[in-house]
């Protein structure tokens, strides 16, 4: 008599379904849906020995705490405490949950220390792109504090024209841009830093040195040193409106070089006030316009909100934000 072996039913091992799998899925779902504030509330109730004492400790009304306790019991499917004439007492399940809440609370208390240690060990690199000869005390103090707190972090500063900042950020070539912006792009984040004011200056041997003009148009026939693509839009509009710069004596996109030409008396040049201030105080430069209309350009801290997160960059941005808030 011939017998044939019984072939077992095929099992799809790619998606094993058993009680352990079902439990794992239920646990994951429970963790996602749980209101973690309920655990915090229950921890205080257990530590205080009742809802009335916890109410005082949390500065919350007793009905709100009772409701929170009921919600947690409903989500866990167990009774956590007994309340009656004999007083407040945790059930066996309540004691287990209270012990877990104590462990969670201990982990939460350690978070500030862990974050502090993480800050101490920050290394990495922060790449900043700024426009030529930017002078901003708030930015300088923020960078100084950042280095003092995180000496292992490497700070790289590159000088570029303002119109190149957006592209560099979107290509993830830099972390932070500091530049004026005539139009704000929707895919970048702009935080106002300060208003950069420009005045027209001349060198010590220029025939207009020591003179001031109420009407900028009075300078229309004079020779100017222009700063090309790095000139802010508000300054270009101001020059065009008053007919300034039609006679060009020099050109440089770098303000250091433009200032050098001005000191050499080649022509009149618009320079940022803060940048020119030391030379004005030393008697090497003279502002031709005093308190009349002066072109002003907003300068921004520019970042890419979609860029990969970097701790060093975030810490430096926090320092900059702190400088602006205390200014």
Cα 199 to Cα 288: distance, rounded to the nearest angstrom: 7
Domain definitions of the chain by residue range: 22-119, 125-192+299-326, 194-297
The beta strand positions in 173-272, using DSSP E, are 176-180, 189-202, 223-226, 247-251, 268-272
Please check whether the domain covering 22-119 is classified as CATH 3.40.30.10.
Answer: no
226 Cβ neighbours under 8 A, 6+ residues apart: 245, 248, 250, 251, 258, 269
pLDDT at 21: 52
pLDDT at 109: 84
Fold matches, 125-192+299-326 and 194-297 = yes
Per CATH, the number for 194-297 is: 3.40.190.290
Cα 154 to Cα 122: distance, rounded to the nearest angstrom: 10
pLDDT at 3: 42
pLDDT at 239: 95
Please check whether the domain covering 125-192+299-326 is classified as CATH 3.40.50.300.
Answer: no
Give the bridge partners for 287, in sequence order: 201
| Contact assessment for residue 227 and residue 295, using Cβ atoms and an 8 Å cutoff | no
Cα 249 to Cα 266: distance, rounded to the nearest angstrom: 6
Residues of the chain with pLDDT under 70: 1-28, 114-121, 325-327
């Amino acid at each position: 008599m011939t017998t044939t072996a019984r072939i077992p039913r095929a099992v799809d091992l790619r998606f094993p379904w058993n009680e352990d799998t079902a439990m794992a899925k239920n646990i994951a779902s429970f963790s996602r849906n749980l209101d973690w504030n309920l655990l915090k509330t229950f921890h205080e109730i257990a530590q205080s020995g009742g809802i009335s004492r916890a109410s005082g400790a949390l500065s919350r009304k007793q009905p709100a705490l009772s409701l929170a306790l009921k919600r947690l019991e409903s989500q866990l499917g167990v009774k956590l405490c007994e309340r009656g004439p004999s007083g407040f007492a945790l059930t066996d399940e309540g004691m287990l949950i209270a012990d877990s809440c104590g462990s969670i609370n201990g982990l939460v208390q350690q978070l500030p220390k862990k974050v502090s240690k993480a800050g101490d060990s920050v290394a990495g690199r922060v790449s900043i792109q700024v426009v030529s000869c930017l002078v901003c005390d708030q930015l300088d103090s923020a960078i100084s504090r950042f280095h003092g707190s995180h000496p292992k972090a490497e700070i790289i500063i590159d000088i570029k024209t303002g119109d190149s900042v957006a592209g560099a950020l979107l290509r993830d070539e830099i972390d932070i841009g500091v530049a004026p912006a005539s139009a704000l792009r929707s895919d970048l984040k702009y935080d106002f830093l300060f208003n950069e004011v420009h005045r027209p200056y001349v060198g010590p041997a220029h025939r207009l040195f020591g003179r001031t003009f109420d009407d900028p148009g009075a300078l229309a026939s004079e020779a100017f040193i222009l700063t090309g693509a790095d000139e802010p839009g508000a300054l270009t509009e101001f020059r065009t409106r008053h007919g300034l710069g039609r006679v060009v004596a020099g050109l440089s996109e770098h303000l250091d070089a433009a200032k050098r030409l001005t000191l050499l008396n080649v022509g009149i040049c618009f320079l940022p006030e803060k940048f020119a201030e030391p030379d004005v105080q030393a008697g090497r430069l003279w502002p031709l316009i005093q308190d009349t209309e002066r072109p002003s350009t907003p300068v921004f801290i520019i970042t890419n909100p979609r860029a990969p997160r970097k701790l060093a960059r975030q810490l430096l941005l926090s320092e900059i934000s702190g400088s602006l808030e205390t200014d």
